[in-house]
Structure 1
Amino acid sequence: MKLVLNKENIKDTNVWRQAAIELPKFDYEKMSAATMENPTWVHFGAGNIFRGFIAMLQQELLNTGKVDTGIVTVEGFDYEIVDKIYTPYDNLSLLVIMNPDGSLNKKVVGSIGESLAADYSREDEWKRLQTIFSKPSLQMASFTITEKGYSVKNLSHEDILNSFKEPKGIITKVALLAYTRYKSGELPIAYVSMDNCSHNGEKLHDALETVISKWVESGLVEKGFLEYINNPKKVSFPWSMIDKITPRPSQSVKKTLESNSFESTDIVITKANTYIAPFVNAEGPQYLVIEDDFPNGRMPLEDAGVFLTDRQTVERVETMKVCTCLNPLHTSLAVYGCLLGFNLIADEMKDSSLKKLVEKIGYEEGMPVVVNPEILKPEDFIKEVIDVRLPNPHIPDTPQRIASDTSQKVGIRFGETIKAYAESADLDPKNLKYIPLVIAGWCRYLMGVDDAGNKMELSPDPLLDTLKSYVSEIKLGDKESAQDSLKPILSNEEIFGLNLYNVGLGEKIENYFSELISGAGAVRSTLEKYLK
């Protein structure tokens, strides 16, 4: 029998069990009805991280009888996701965990009780959203809308005023729904950003406050609405840290599923360039840490493996990950992976020099100044990253993807460690060897020429044109052509958070760079020289 994702098909439990696919351990139709009647959790952003991680948290609670409602998922940007991935499959998905040994763990995601497009022109769906936000049962609205989703700085005053009558951006839509909740009796709620960015709760609050303040100034809404949003006893904006790789749907996973009679495998590329399928492929390791601040109560997320803690601890976990245990290693592999012609992070971890580079940056240079959040051990976290996560050949993550926006990342990923060394009584930034080597590698990358001397396409970066102009006259094999070209980059405090020359690293990076441009193959030979 062919396996197809729909609510009738999953009733034939034996067939799914024979295919080694785990089904929800609750009555799906009862859950959906309960969710329609008394929704407790709305999530904005219906993509892969939601289905592959967040929805499975509620599924764990449903499976164990600790809750009886699911999640209402809302897509506020790419409506094709709802129309082509949710509706045709009765809101069901298949989660495929890709283990390092090549085995796959498969589970039907059945915790999504309802899916809606936050499109003001779809009157029925918008009215349904208003109804949901007027329900006293609603405890949380969570978000995975990417960091860009919180930006309202490009909205003109006129745009914001018009958005009250016809909201277009996700933040103005949420603001309007929050107004519905305010008018329904100032009902309490937690707005929880689960996006992978620092101080995410603050970003969400500030974006909403900006829009609502303009509405108040223009007399469109009462001042009391702004006071409501800023009253932590009624409305909270908890911070969170999330970590799980859920890449684009994999063709190899699709083929494996089809060979096992699973037919719901059509990969969709939407007009908004979202790559999505009825299945989600993801790594196994996952972390979610949330500030425990829920004015209307919450579901027992700790029973699903979520860490509930205070804001300072959330920030410490984020700092541990972003500044030491994961993100700096990713950027190191991205820069040198592109230069050396790699197309898969996992393949880089088979390269002895690159593996040693991330070990040196993580264990030797990062760990002495790591921020310890206590609830997670940095030593265990980084060991899992280096030994399990990065080498997983079944996670199709590329150095080219990670190299995007590097100018926006190096200040946090390396600058904070350099500053910690500079502020320490026992450490000296001049003694750093491998972080400067990566920064030099990034400057070499900006030349747009790989280690073989061939032209190389660079990943998107908001400062790319400016940065490229600084290295445009440098020629491979001509060290003299570099001269002072790197000074505008390495002295830029907006990029690194400090002037690298002031801490004794500017010249060291220039020297590394000089070696990296000495000719074709110099990137490889330089790495081997310093990572014997």
Structure 2
Amino acid sequence: MRLKELLTDNYNAAEWEAKGYELPRFDIKTVRKNTYENPTWVHFGGGNIFRAFPAALLNDALNTGKYDRGVIVAETFDDEVIDKAYAPYDNLSLLVSLQSSGTIEKKVIASVTEALKADPQFEDWNRLTEIFRKPSLQMISFTITEKGYSYNEEDLARGLSPVFALGKVTVLLHERFKAGKLPLTVQSMDNCSHNGSKVQAGVFAYAERWAKDGLVAQEFVDYLKDESKVSFPWSMIDKITPRPHEKVKALLAADGFEDNDYIETARHTFTAPFVNAEETQYLVIEDNYTNGRPPLNLGGVLYTTRETVDKVETMKVTTCLNPLHTAMAIYGCLLGYDLISAEIADADIRAFVQKIGYIEAMPVVVDPGVLNPYEFIGAFINKRLPNPFMPDTPQRIAMDTSQKLPIRFGETIKKYISRGLDRSNLVLIPLVLAGYARYLKGVDDAGKPFTPSPDPLLEELQSIVSPLEIGSEHQDFGCLRKLFSRKDVFGLDLYEAGLGEQIEGMVKELYAGKGAVRATLHRYVSER
């Protein structure tokens, strides 16, 4: 069984379906022809998240029979992805959904019609230029990570031969401008706050510099800033696509599916002809399009207002997901866990994150209306965290914790204060922050040293707690005031917030000796 068989007229569909493979229900060749002639969507970033999510959403939309255009992928960072993950399989791929039950679902993704290298050194660039001059083009989108939106003075000074992704995109937008100021939507699908504004800032920076240098007309800048012509909507995306899993490869091989080799490029992109991803996913997009859009709502996208996208993101980042991850990271390291899926099976940890989410964070959540906060937390705790295929670790999540605490917990505390909520309801969130003071010692609950994850403030914060000793009965915890008054770490002075002394008391319990972390966690969770 090979993916390219599906483009022939005599493949054995019954064999594939008997082994649990969902095949496209649309005519692949017709969709490819329609898309080549009148493309509607170009996506920048050909990595695993694209194939597992946006491309799969479009595949579902095509399966309804209500749409007939695919998506053209353009790779800006690693051209080997095109040569190794797309071309050999004629742009087909296999999505393997990893169920929390330990089973998998398999779906052939055939919505990608072309895969192009987005750089002028390749012939593909001429095709991209042609596409950008087509009136039918409605949307370009991105999953290039937040780092992909970066630019610098050196690249701005390169003029119309930039190296960075947004510079190349701006060159292509200039082609669309020259073709008649054609409308287009520039849609970020990356997991970063206010992502559309980040793309917009980069595109404007290049265009304004080129206009200043006399390389483009001021009219081009005006075109980009005309929201009736070019829009930059926000979105919130959430789905985990880990590296190809050895267990998944073995399951596919047992089926007789032969396209299961691992692929690593010279730039250390890890991929495969198959993409494995968690079952749970969310994509909420601001519905602000200037030239129509592909009907991704047929595949499950939620279209809404910018305000609602912001509410969904705030719900996820400050209350209903990211804070729970950080709580697990801190205590997972202290309790010796090295897999999140194993840690969530711990009764104390499970109750810990449930009660933080449902009891302490929920009072400040603004229901965005399109996603229910209670159901969002429930899916996270009951489906996403226990998934045995997810190789995520507390150690990875604990990276840069000092940079995350102000948003993930500081914002909730601020809202308690600004809304006049009863701060005595805050028990387990303070316990997370107390746990951070224990984590900084780099000694787990069994008394074994561990290396805290990389963090730009790690050495500085460790020096604050260095006078403290685990198991010492008579010691001065006064150094903690220097830690918990740090607004840059916690988002506010925890003493001014009325929580400093409470947290100090918890730290004393956590430092009592071996087993103190478990005992303290269990007591507070049980009493909550």
Stretch of structure 1 that moved more, 381-390 or 10-19: 10-19
Partner residue, 2:201 = 206
Q: What is the correspondence of 1:246-265 to structure 2 with a 5 Å cutoff?
A: 246-265=241-260
C-alpha separation in 1, matches of 2:355 and 2:414: 18
Q: What is the correspondence of 1:109-128 to structure 2 with a 5 Å cutoff?
A: 109-122=109-122, 124-128=123-127
Partner residue, 2:15 = 15
Deviation at 1:454, TM superposition (A): 2.5
SS in 2 for 1:500: coil
SS in 1 for 2:441: coil
Partner residue, 2:77 = 77
Pick the aligned partner of 1:451 from 422, 445, 448: 445
1:529 correspondence with 2:523: yes
C-alpha separation in 1, matches of 2:442 and 2:59: 46
Deviation at 1:277, TM superposition (A): 1.4
C-alpha separation in 1, matches of 2:517 and 2:264: 36
Partner residue, 1:319 = 314
Partner residue, 2:88 = 88
* Counterpart code for 2:502: K
Partner residue, 1:142 = 141
Stretch of structure 1 that moved more, 515-524 or 250-259: 515-524
C-alpha separation in 2, matches of 1:331 and 1:399: 8
Stretch of structure 1 that moved more, 432-441 or 446-455: 446-455
Deviation at 1:115, TM superposition (A): 0.8
Deviation at 1:161, TM superposition (A): 1.3
C-alpha separation in 1, matches of 2:267 and 2:437: 32
SS in 1 for 2:495: helix
Partner residue, 1:273 = 268
Deviation at 1:6, TM superposition (A): 5.3
- Name the CA shift for 1:181/1:288 in 2 (closer, same or farther; >3 Å): same
Partner residue, 1:520 = 514
Deviation at 1:411, TM superposition (A): 1.7
Partner residue, 1:461 = 455
Deviation at 1:478, TM superposition (A): 3.9
Pick the aligned partner of 1:437 from 431, 443, 449: 431
1:161 correspondence with 2:157: yes
C-alpha separation in 2, matches of 1:323 and 1:3: 44
Deviation at 1:108, TM superposition (A): 0.5
Deviation at 1:470, TM superposition (A): 3.2
Any stretches of 5+ residues in structure 1 without a counterpart?
Answer: none
Q: What is the correspondence of 1:351-370 to structure 2 with a 5 Å cutoff?
A: 351-370=346-365
Pick the aligned partner of 1:224 from 219, 228, 233: 219
Q: What is the correspondence of 1:21-420 to structure 2 with a 5 Å cutoff?
A: 21-122=21-122, 124-152=123-151, 155-156=152-153, 158-162=154-158, 164-420=159-415
The C-alpha deviation readout for 1:65-117, integer Å capped at 9, x for no partner, is 22211111112112222221111111111111111222211001110011112
C-alpha separation in 2, matches of 1:457 and 1:500: 27
The C-alpha deviation readout for 1:368-396, integer Å capped at 9, x for no partner, is 11111112221222122222222222322
How many percent identity over aligned positions?
Answer: 52
Q: Taking structure 1 as the reference length, what is the TM-score of the superposition?
A: 0.94
C-alpha separation in 2, matches of 1:468 and 1:207: 37
- Name the CA shift for 1:63/1:499 in 2 (closer, same or farther; >3 Å): same
C-alpha separation in 1, matches of 2:163 and 2:468: 46
Stretch of structure 1 that moved more, 277-286 or 356-365: 277-286
C-alpha separation in 1, matches of 2:263 and 2:373: 38
C-alpha separation in 2, matches of 1:81 and 1:451: 44
Stretch of structure 1 that moved more, 448-457 or 111-120: 448-457
- Name the CA shift for 1:362/1:423 in 2 (closer, same or farther; >3 Å): same
SS in 2 for 1:321: helix
Deviation at 1:435, TM superposition (A): 0.7
Question: Contact conserved, 1:43 with 1:142, CA < 8 A, in 2?
Answer: yes
Instruction: Report how many residues are paired.
Output: 525
The C-alpha deviation readout for 1:134-185, integer Å capped at 9, x for no partner, is 1111101111111222233xx12x33111x3432111111111111111111
C-alpha separation in 2, matches of 1:464 and 1:272: 29
C-alpha separation in 1, matches of 2:8 and 2:514: 58
SS in 2 for 1:396: coil
SS in 1 for 2:268: coil
Q: Taking structure 2 as the reference length, what is the TM-score of the superposition?
A: 0.94
C-alpha separation in 1, matches of 2:203 and 2:476: 47
Stretch of structure 1 that moved more, 436-445 or 69-78: 436-445
C-alpha separation in 2, matches of 1:413 and 1:475: 28
- Name the CA shift for 1:482/1:109 in 2 (closer, same or farther; >3 Å): farther
C-alpha separation in 1, matches of 2:507 and 2:65: 59
* Counterpart code for 1:308: Y
SS in 2 for 1:503: coil
- Name the CA shift for 1:365/1:243 in 2 (closer, same or farther; >3 Å): same
C-alpha separation in 2, matches of 1:135 and 1:527: 60
**Cα RMSD for the two superposed structures:** 2.0
C-alpha separation in 2, matches of 1:18 and 1:447: 55
SS in 1 for 2:309: helix
